[in-house]
Chains A and B, each alone.
Chain A
């Protein structure tokens, strides 16, 4: 009886408008979020459905067969080799340059204006469309040596990788506690020794993660390779020759009228998406563990 008499106010529901607004927004937000999850699931499902059945050993070890020929082993081994070589070249350039730049930003710059500028430029660089990077590599390498080449492709990919390596490495270096650096300096270590023996060593898991993410990203890039490395039906013929890659192969074969080429495109997608998902999920686990331990 007390309950009803003294404060019935507390039990009155909100006004109809507010109630409708709250339930309505919840419904809309959850529907839209569900919609956001759909594409990834749909893409993965389709890759598994279309790509995995065709992913046989012969596909990984043979050259593309001429179209329309039956009973000839068909594959994209040259594209795998090409992607490995070009991502390798890109890594050779971007990893040292990227890590040194990150060391400067995290360890040497101490809030100087130039460091702010570099950080800003790196962020802008990460937003430059990959096709523009391809155009740049075309102008710098292809037009100069008068030909499409693995070198040009690797150069283009290195510019894609560079900002990713720099930003991830700087993040990892910033997570190293200052006290470790002070401790190292207090023991008489030089700056160089402190950076390499203490800071980099401590941040290594984070740096590795960042580098792997950059490698995964570069493996899937297509636009920068289209008119730098071009494509090739043959095995790798040297750094200055047109070179096949998985991504350009998927592009070429996706719009092909031949079903077996479409199938090869799906199978190559399994490999690329496999690499990308593995690296992303692994890095997620590594980073979240690091946060837990802190």
Chain B
């Protein structure tokens, strides 16, 4: 299988220069009493795109949702180990969930705009936290839509329903909505799985341009995508226990070209999964 790599991935900086935005230490995660992932330790570096790949059911999505504690919406969860956001344990009792999620934004598998106007979608997160004046809100909305490369397509239709946009536009709107609250990290859970190739390409270009503003972690089942957009890659897998584990983490070029684990090599070369 052939991979094309992002320029910056080929000469990925040595990890010692990088600041971990998120540092995961020996994380185990339970839905109810069901263990979903175990012993995951890795860093998500600031200003880099980290791809999380692996066969379906390997817990990559669960892992992502544990990073902003959005999984707690889906039921009772339990966590062992630590996730540190710039040194602060996000599972600490003092952490305010709403402020945490504002710092660590998320884009979901299926585009999920609110059934309201394009403008209101982007302004939503800002309005929840403050009562901005119209001028500054307009600026925030515009800059978020520009960052999401959507501004030129929608600038004349801001008051139209977001549900009228195409799938790819909706997904970029969701990205703009997440960017509007200026998160430090953006988590993306298979953001292109519901999109056609052209829309996918636009999102990939967008991810690359966003890397300079914030840190991105992206779950994808598409290995070409991982190689194209990311500088670092984590490979998750599972065995008969059906508990997801981190098999290998490293620079994307290394994972795809010279993985140290045979399971990683088998997977990226398409021999299983």
Contact = CB atoms under 8 A, between A and B. Distances in A.
A and B touching (C-beta < 8 Å)? yes
Interface stretch (A7-15, A147-155, A201-209): A7-15
Contacts of A13: 96
B94 A11 contact: yes
Interface stretch (B3-11, B97-105, B250-258): B97-105
Interface string B56-93: 00000000000000000000000000000111111010
Interface in A1-53: 2-3, 5-7, 9-15
A215 B83 CA distance: 59
Interface in B174-204: none
B98 A10 contact: no
B18 interface: no
Contact of B89 (A3, A12, A15): A3
Contacts of A11: 88, 92, 94-96, 99
Contacts of A3: 87-89, 92
Nearest to A5: B87
Nearest to B99: A10
A185 B195 CA distance: 39
Contact of B87 (A7, A9, A12, A14): A7
A14 B96 contact: yes
Contacts of B94: 10-11
A250 B103 CA distance: 64
A8 to B, nearest CB: 9
Contacts of A14: 96, 98-99
Interface in B5-46: none
Contacts of B95: 10-11
B183 to A, nearest CB: 12
Nearest to B94: A11
Contacts of A15: 129
Contacts of A2: 87-88
With most chain B CB atoms within 10 A of its CB, the pick from A2, A6, A7, A15 is A7
A6 B99 contact: no
B99 to A, nearest CB: 5
With most chain B CB atoms within 10 A of its CB, the pick from A2, A9, A12, A13 is A9
Interface string B85-129: 111111010111011100100000000000000000000000001
A183 B88 CA distance: 60
A7 B96 CA distance: 12
10 contacts: A7-B85, A7-B86, A9-B99, A10-B96, A10-B103, A11-B96, A11-B99, A14-B98, A14-B99, A15-B129
Given A9-B103, A14-B98, 6 more contacts: A5-B87, A10-B88, A10-B90, A10-B94, A10-B103, A11-B99
Interface of A: 2-3, 5-7, 9-15
Rank and list the top 8 A-B pairs by shortest CB-CB distance, nearest first.
Answer: A2-B87, A11-B94, A7-B88, A6-B86, A6-B87, A10-B95, A7-B86, A3-B88
